[in-house]
Amino acid sequence: NAGVTQTPKFQVLKTGQSMTLQCAQDMNHEYMSWYRQDPGMGLRLIHYSVGAGITDQGEVPNGYNVSRSTTEDFPLRLLSAAPSQTSVYFCASSRGTEQYFGPGTRLTVL
Amino acid sequence: ELKVEQNPLFLSMQEGKNYTIYCNYSTTSDRLYWYRQDPGKSLESLFVLLSNGAVKQEGRLMASLDTKARLSTLHITAAVHDLSATYFCAVDLGVNNAGNMLTFGGGTRLMVKP
């Protein structure tokens, strides 16, 4: 199993550009989520999904969209990037108490 | 709003010494996680604590949970340099037991000196 994979690993955007961060898991987990980690801080929940077709907002959802068309994939879209979205983004999948984090995407918005 | 506070935020200790990291949280929960993060890396799961009084140990690390006091501790015994990392606790509000909604503490950066 590859576990949770994320692409790209690094990305630089200009203010106002849009992009999609990809996340996939091969463990057949129903639950997936996106977190962001700012320097020197813990992770904060952006959006989560309890299954295909079902998504909901976490603590810091503004500026981000998600969709869940399949169990495996949970992309995160930045509609119009802002410098405040410079962060490291982690995708996670889980079942019950087993939680797995992806390797992260380091995003810089200029 | 759930708040999770860790202390200390930074800990510098000598090899061979013992120390405890504290994690306080503001809302009732009976699921708490401890993670380790090395610089530039993802999170590595250390412990999942699922009930009041739960205690788990792995090597030089031992974690406990007191849900009545809303407190978890991560105790380090006879620290070694390889334990240098940032440690996070995270409280799980859960989603009907289908997954995890984690609220993280700010992290404790541990540096173990030879």
Examine the pLDDT at B105 and tell me if it is beyond 70.
yes
Structural tokens at position A98: 């087993």
- A94: nearest CB among B42, B88, B99: B99
pLDDT (mean) for B86-110: 84
Question: Closest Cα partner for A25 from A109, A101, A85?
Answer: A101
Examine the pLDDT at B99 and tell me if it is beyond 70.
no
The Cβ of residue B14 has, within 10 Å, a number of other Cβ atoms equal to 10
The Cβ of residue A78 has, within 10 Å, a number of other Cβ atoms equal to 20
Distance CA B54, CA A36 (A): 29
Residues of A in contact with B96 (CB under 8 A): 50
* Predicted local distance difference test score (pLDDT) of residue B114: 86
> What dihedral do alpha carbons B66, B35, B81, B108 form, nearest 10°?
-70
Q: Which of B102, B104, B108, B109 to mutate to test the interface with A (most CBs of A within 10 A)?
A: B102
CB B53 within 8 A of CB B78: no
Structural tokens at position B98: 């289908």
Count of pairs with CB atoms under 8 A, one residue in A, one in B:
64
What's the DSSP call for residue A80? Answer: S
pLDDT digits (tens, 9 = 90+) for B33-92: 999 999 999 999 999 998 888 999 999 999 999 999 999 999 999 999 999 999 999 998
Residues 6 or more apart whose CB falls under 8 angstroms from that of A48 comprise A31, A32, A33, A34, A55, A56, A58, B95, B99, B101
pLDDT digits (tens, 9 = 90+) for A8-19: 999 999 999 999
Q: How far is B14 from chain A (nearest CA, A)?
A: 23
